[in-house]
Amino acid sequence: MHVVATAGHVDHGKSALVRALTGMEPDRWAEERRRGMTLDLGFAWTRLAGAGEVAFVDVPGHERLVGNMLAGVGPVPAALFVVAADQGWQPQSAEHLAVLDALGVRHAVLAVSRSDLADPAAAREEALRRIAGTSLGTVPSVAVSAVTGHGMQDLRAALTGLALALPAPDPAADVRLWIDRVFTVRGRGTVVTGTLRAGTLREGDRLELARTGARLRVRGLQTLKEPRPEVTAVARVAVNVHGPGAGELRRGDALLTPGRWLTTDTVDVRLHGDPARDMPRHLTLHAGSAAVPVTVRPLGEDTARLRQARALPLRIADRALLRDPGRHRIPAGVTVLDVRPPPLTRRGSAAARARELRAASGTPDGAGELRRRGLVRRTELLAMGVAPPAEPVAGDWLADPAHWAGLRDALRRAVEQHADGRPLEPGLPLEAARQALGLPDRSLVEALLAADPALGQRDGRLYGSRRRPALPPPVRDAVDAVRADLARAPFRAPETERLRELGLTPPMLAAAATAGALLRIGDGIVLLPDADARAAAVLSGLEQPFTASQARRALDTTRRVVIPLLEHLDRHGFTVRVDGALRRCAAVGAGNPAVPG
């Protein structure tokens, strides 16, 4: 199906033209038919040979009803622009054309209606001239009369060409259905209508209400008043929804594929119209069928930041427009450049942001977004409407290559500075490293660590493997005394009293272990760095398997030392438990102690 908005200033002629095309009455209210004026959105459809079904959203033409008109035009990709031969170009014609131009609509047909009442040439010439200067460019035109039928076959042919020229929608795209009408059906509940611009809807689908996050179930679908199990874009669709908050739906709400969209109340945009400096501070943003008050903050000559009264599901490259309701004018159309813009809190940040936006193309650019953000979740990038340019570096996180290399260098410096500044402490804690680099997730620190052979990790702390931290002279002298004691009795770890006598506190022992001067096998229990390998050599001479008591005697040590020593040997593959009381030595080469850098 193809969906076309019928716009223009004529109500009698426009609605009559839609009736003549479709054989249907687009005006839904008796008051509309009595006054001959479209007051709200109307809907009709027909079948065109060679193009299939074409639906029309008939929008109001009166200047006081432009808000209603915008709700119908926003999601629609093409227009049938109507100008009356006997009235010519009108102020409402200009406003409707400005709407289509601001939204970047590129496909249209001009119908010069009521050509039975006046020569259509003058109205056609002026309309084509004005339309040519907008996003629509050169469009086909047809002079018609809904009364006599003159030109109707030519109009159908022009609409067929229009439909065939429209770009093919993506049936697998994420759904964003802007609601333009809400009503209740007895026995069925809430029904909403809208133009499905991309994606596919199916019975049983769950949709997320953008305004609240509530999940609603699709109980039924219709398109052109025919029930369907599924509907693929582009299509006019009626959706029977059920769930919490379904009764509170309203025009301007959007139903979304769950988990695939971001809602935002702040966007950076490129303006297509008045310069940013001339923009009123308070305007109304029309996006889809929504109309939301916004505050405009100019950034560059043609860029601005919009703060919305409520969040909307927007993506990069979305088109919308700004309207000044009080003055009945449209200062600018907008292209969304960023739906997660950085805060402007520091002096000069607005000017820096303006320079950055100057280079933004207004089209989704994965590499560019990643370069600007440095780090971003893959799911968030997709929700912005941007295809990820690379694979994640950790979990769902994507990283710009240059930024990632800079983080790797920064992590190495942080580890070295910690070792130099706090030699008595063990390595830099993982969480401290995350904070030092300003990273949002600890998994990123671990990924940086895995990518850098100069760094190592043990017990949640990071060490530099290129060199060991130097011990302060007093600590080095005390450690040398312990090493001398252990040289005489390698497996008789110094008692707590001896360590206290030498002034060796637990942090000092940890620093000595980090420096590779001692091997810490338990709290307050230290041996020479190669004690585990020497112990394994001694134990390999015992009858296998052996008990802890046999190991204690063979190593000439105490139970205080032998139990943590055996557990250390188990952890590092020197020994293997046979059962709760017995161990055996592992095969030669089965294990090797890991000494932190």
First-to-last C-alpha distance (Å) of the chain? 67
C-alpha of 588 from chain center: 53
pLDDT in tens, 325-361: 888 788 999 999 999 999 998 888 999 999 989 888 8
Q: What is the pLDDT of residue 36?
A: 46
> In the predicted model, what is the mean pLDDT of the chain?
87
Share of the chain above pLDDT 90, in %: 61
Q: Which residue has the tokens 């920064």?
A: 410
pLDDT tier, 286 (very low <50, low <70, confident <90, very high otherwise): very high
Fold of 263-363: Elongation Factor Tu (Ef-tu); domain 3 (2.40.30)
Please report, rounded to a whole number, the percentage of residues in the chain having pLDDT higher than 70: 90
Helix (H, G, I), strand (E, B) or coil at 382: helix
Check: CB of residue 181 under 8 Å from CB of residue 192. yes
Q: Which of 226, 252, 250 is nearest to 238 (CA)?
A: 226
Mean pLDDT across the stretch 383-409? 94
The CATH-assigned architecture of domain 2-165 is: 3-Layer(aba) Sandwich (3.40)
What are the tens digits of pLDDT across the range 528-578?
999 999 999 999 999 999 999 999 999 999 999 999 999 999 999 999 998
Q: Which of 571, 566, 572 is nearest to 549 (CA)?
A: 566
Q: Which helix (H) or strand (E) holds 447?
A: helix 442-450
Would you identify the CATH topology of the domain 473-585? Answer: Arc Repressor Mutant, subunit A (1.10.10)
pLDDT at position 393: 94
Give per-residue pLDDT as tens, 167-213: 888 999 999 999 988 999 988 899 999 999 999 999 999 999 999 99
CATH code, residues 176-256: 2.40.30.10
Domain ranges of the chain: 2-165, 176-256, 263-363, 473-585
CA angle 79, 85, 90 (to 5 degrees): 65
Alpha helices in 166-294 (DSSP H): none
Q: What integer pLDDT is reported at residue 511 of this predicted model?
A: 79
Domain 176-256 and domain 473-585 have a common topology: no
Rounded to whole angstroms, the Cα distance separating 294 from 296 reads: 6
Report the amino acid identity of residue 15.
Answer: S
Query: Is pLDDT of 467 > 60?
Result: no
pLDDT digits (tens, 9 = 90+) for 496-526: 999 999 989 888 888 788 777 899 998 889 9
Query: What distance in Å separates the CA atoms of residue 238 and residue 255, rounded to the nearest whole number?
Result: 12
For 178, 406, 430, the CA distances from 437, given in Å and listed in that order, are 41, 10, 11
